[in-house]
Homo-oligomer: A and B are copies of this chain.
Amino acid sequence: MTESLINVTLDWHDRGLHYGDGLFETMLKVGGQVPHWESHCQRLVKGCKQLFLPSLDLSWLEKKLTEVTKKTDTCIVKIIVTRGVGGRGLKLPNPDQCSVFVLSYPFVQPSNKTLKVSVCDTRLPMNPNLSGLKHLNRLDYVLATIELSNKTDNDEGILCDSEEFIVEGIINNLFFIKDNQLFTPCLSLSGVNGIMRTKIIEHWAKIDKTVHIGRFKLGQLLDADECFFCNSVQGIRSIGSIDGQKFDTGAITRLLMKRLNNFLPINTDGLG
């Protein structure tokens, strides 16, 4: 892709607005660096292929990110990639064109407390064509956020799919531990394939352990010894309660926080 084919101004006719026809990445910039930058790029490239979006010029993207965030060493960065400006209707525009928007937000240090969590009634649809992707069709998550805001004082919600299998949080991936074994929902039907989730699975493999990836019912989560959420902006955070049922921050959550939260601006051990 040549630079001339990257649209950086937002147009009324951008397919991101009309159809949510695109992808996004959210990441931290800390001390002038973006932790896991290569992983974010790899996921973006893979997502573009899956949605038949034009391939991205990653060195242009890195330069753009540096330019947009040049005034700050530490911030949150959101990259939005869309299929560019279209005419009327779904018919695809010039296949070589896309829009790329790089936005920067102040970083707010998350609280060190364990998370108070509630199970959402909102169900995620099962959609193998889109599952795993960090795409722009997020109405289900908006509805879950509205639902959560109507409950008192919850930090995050747990989302299940329409067959009642647990998937993830609204803005986090989910792990739980039972009898020293690590479990996380598979994302082949619903959910977002998070970078931190991948880092945890890779780390666990490095120390010769197996992550059990599968479809698990809520009962299995509630029967866990410990559980935690993770994302690229807040790292790993221990779950303190699910709908009032209390969980302790156990040894495995502590270990993973210690090993993998070190990219955060202030190393939160999250032990509350």
Give chain A's interface residues, CB within 8 Å of chain B: 10-21, 24, 51-52, 76, 78, 80, 82-83, 87-92, 101, 103, 105, 122-123, 125-127, 129-130, 135-143, 145-146, 149, 162, 170-171
Contacts and interface: CB of A to CB of B under 8 A. Distances in A.
Contact of A80 (B17, B87, B137, B146): B17
Contacts of A137: 19-20, 137-139
Given A52-B146, A125-B125, A90 B24 contact: no
A129 B135 CA distance: 19
The listed residue with most B CB atoms (<10 A of its CB), out of A78, A101, A129, is: A129
Nearest to A143: B129
A89 B136 contact: no
21 contacts: A10-B10, A12-B101, A17-B82, A18-B80, A18-B136, A19-B141, A20-B136, A20-B139, A87-B105, A90-B138, A90-B141, A92-B145, A122-B129, A125-B125, A125-B127, A126-B162, A127-B162, A129-B139, A129-B143, A130-B139, A137-B137
Given A19-B142, A122-B129, 4 more contacts: A10-B12, A20-B137, A125-B125, A129-B140
A136 B21 CA distance: 9
A244 to B, nearest CB: 23
Nearest to A102: B12
B171 A89 contact: yes
The listed residue with most B CB atoms (<10 A of its CB), out of A17, A76, A83, A141, is: A17
Nearest to A131: B125
A204 to B, nearest CB: 28
Closest 8 pairs (CB-CB, A-B): A20-B20, A137-B137, A19-B138, A125-B127, A125-B125, A88-B105, A90-B145, A16-B17
Nearest to A144: B90
B135 A139 contact: yes
